[in-house]
């Protein structure tokens, strides 16, 4: 069955960096667009980035709130999705989910990122 498992969350100071991973199984990972979505405490779902299925130079897209600070990438050989988060801010505190597109039919369990001094 399809499974997505995020890891890499934790506590980080403002201005710091963190790299999230999403391990995929149960489907042909390389055939699908993948996305990261987050939910800040008490807030709704916020799409932050997606990456196309192309093996060579996949296209990427970012929400304005993370553009220039976050980088999405994938390793189709390892069935893995990544989110490199730099220059983190307090407002980046959230549960981060990876999901298969589209529609967003499978989601991981989420990983908590807390940005605080």
Partner 1 sequence: QSVLTQPPSVSAAPGQKVTISCSGSSSDIGNNFVSWYQHLPGSSPKLLIYDNNRRPSGIPDRFSGSKSGTSATLGITGLQTGDEADYYCGTWDSSLNWVFGEGTKLTVL
The least CB distance from residue 63 to partner 1, in Å, is 6
The one among 51, 96, 108, 113 contacting partner 1 by CB under 8 A: 108
Nearest to 88 by CA among 15, 33, 31: 15
Does 61 help bind partner 1 (rule: CB under 8 A)?
Answer: yes
Contacts of residue 68, Cβ cutoff 8 Å, sequence gap at least 6: none
Does 105 help bind partner 1 (rule: CB under 8 A)?
Answer: yes
Does 44 help bind partner 1 (rule: CB under 8 A)?
Answer: yes
Does 103 help bind partner 1 (rule: CB under 8 A)?
Answer: yes
The one among 8, 63, 69, 89 contacting partner 1 by CB under 8 A: 63
CA pair distance 100, 80, nearest whole angstrom:
12
Nearer to partner 1, 59 or 116 (CB): 59
Reduced to 3 states (helix: H, G, I; strand: E, B; else coil), residue 100 is strand
Express the helix, strand and coil content of the chain in percent, nearest 5 each: 10, 50, 45
The one among 50, 70, 82, 96 contacting partner 1 by CB under 8 A: 50
CA pair distance 35, 58, nearest whole angstrom:
13
The residues that touch partner 1, with contacts defined as CB under 8 A, are 35, 37, 44-47, 50, 61, 63-64, 97, 99, 101-110
């Amino acid at each position: 069955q399809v499974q997505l498992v995020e890891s890499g969350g934790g506590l980080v100071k403002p201005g710091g960096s963190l790299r999230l991973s999403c391990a995929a199984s149960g489907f042909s990972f390389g055939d699908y667009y993948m996305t990261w979505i987050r939910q800040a405490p008490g807030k709704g779902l916020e799409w932050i980035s997606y990456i196309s299925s192309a093996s060579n130079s996949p296209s990427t897209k970012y929400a304005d709130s993370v553009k220039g600070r976050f980088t999405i990438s994938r390793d189709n050989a390892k069935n893995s999705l990544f989110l490199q988060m730099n220059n983190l801010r307090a407002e980046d505190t959230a549960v981060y989910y990876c999901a298969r597109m589209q529609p967003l039919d499978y989601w991981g369990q989420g990983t908590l990122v807390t940005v605080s001094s």
